[in-house]
Structure 1
């Protein structure tokens, strides 16, 4: 097989999401007013792309650190085609945010490699986030954009996985 056997999907043409596709969106409740912007915009975009609203499941957790384990449980269940994780991990003046960020991102990567279920991250760590009006407004709007981007990436990835599955399927004699 060579690379020309796999079609390249353009960023300009986001593929449709089959209505039967099941997607879990996990969100952390720290700064939920901001984080839910990503969750809600991802959901809206997935529905625009053809997903059935009943097949997009939202799961809320206390914080970002808990997300990888839940992503693993959802992915291993066989009930979801993809998982999207949303969190705002802030620098509270201690280095813990770096540990949490690394643990979450590494954990999400491990989930998708171990299960074969695509996992998308909108777990963002802004540099020196301060909970005042300017930062709040910026990240409130930024998470809207990032949720939509995650939904688009999800649609592209699922379409590409479907193409590869067809390419790798045994040919009928």
Structure 2
């Protein structure tokens, strides 16, 4: 048995402290079949929105979503049409949308954001391909470095969250479809 001998004259603050245990890396469940995801990103405020994509890609890989194709569109308003066309190909098991909707007039950007979200829901229900949204509309957005930094961090968080939601939904659908095929759920 190894014992650490301590010089009685050594002060407690000088004694090497054991390392703080890190949270173990959580092992996420694997998919029965490979999943292919389309990530549709608006280019408006790209430096902010791309933080969601970067974080999504990292978290998606950790969750065994390794086939992700990225598509860029000019703005959030163009996302639903791309999502619909991608869903209709049947090549993708899920579609993720990311965009930042800002405008000087409160009614306009709220209208755009609401329209985009409703259209994405319609795509999902019409095609039975799940569509996830990281299309965000801040109440107040000022083109200052402080706001840009805040929203970059916020989009990174949303990227992780949307990857988790995507993976968990695809696992749930995989189980449900297996149960339907086995006649357990009818």
Tell me the TM-score normalized by structure 2. 0.80
Report 1:71-86 matches (<5 A).
71-86=83-98
Partner of 2:110: 98
Partner of 1:7: none
Partner of 1:135: 147
What is the Cα deviation at residue 94 of structure 1?
4.9
Q: Is residue 24 of structure 2 the alignment partner of residue 24 of structure 1?
A: no
Q: Output the aligned Cα RMSD.
A: 1.9
Distance 1:170 1:20, change over 3 A: closer
Distance 1:22 1:140, change over 3 A: same
Partner of 1:117: 129
Partner of 1:9: none
Relative contact order (C-alpha < 8 Å, sep 6+): which is higher? 1
Q: Is residue 164 of structure 2 the alignment partner of residue 158 of structure 1?
A: no
CA shift digits 1:13-52 (9 cap, x unpaired) = 8544567210000000010000000011111111111222
Quick one: distance in 1 between partners of 2:31 and 2:113? 30
Which protein is bigger by CA-based radius of gyration?
2
Q: Is residue 157 of structure 2 the alignment partner of residue 149 of structure 1?
A: no
What is the count of residue pairs matched by the alignment? Answer: 159
Partner of 1:47: 61
SS in 2 for 1:90: coil
SS in 1 for 2:133: strand
Please say if residues 27 and 85 of structure 1, whose CA atoms lie closer than 8 Å, have aligned partners that are also in contact.
yes
Distance 1:18 1:87, change over 3 A: farther
Please say if residues 17 and 155 of structure 1, whose CA atoms lie closer than 8 Å, have aligned partners that are also in contact.
no
CA shift digits 1:38-78 (9 cap, x unpaired) = 011111111111222xx210000000000000000001101
SS in 2 for 1:95: helix
Please say if residues 79 and 97 of structure 2, whose CA atoms lie closer than 8 Å, have aligned partners that are also in contact.
yes
Tell me the TM-score normalized by structure 1. 0.86
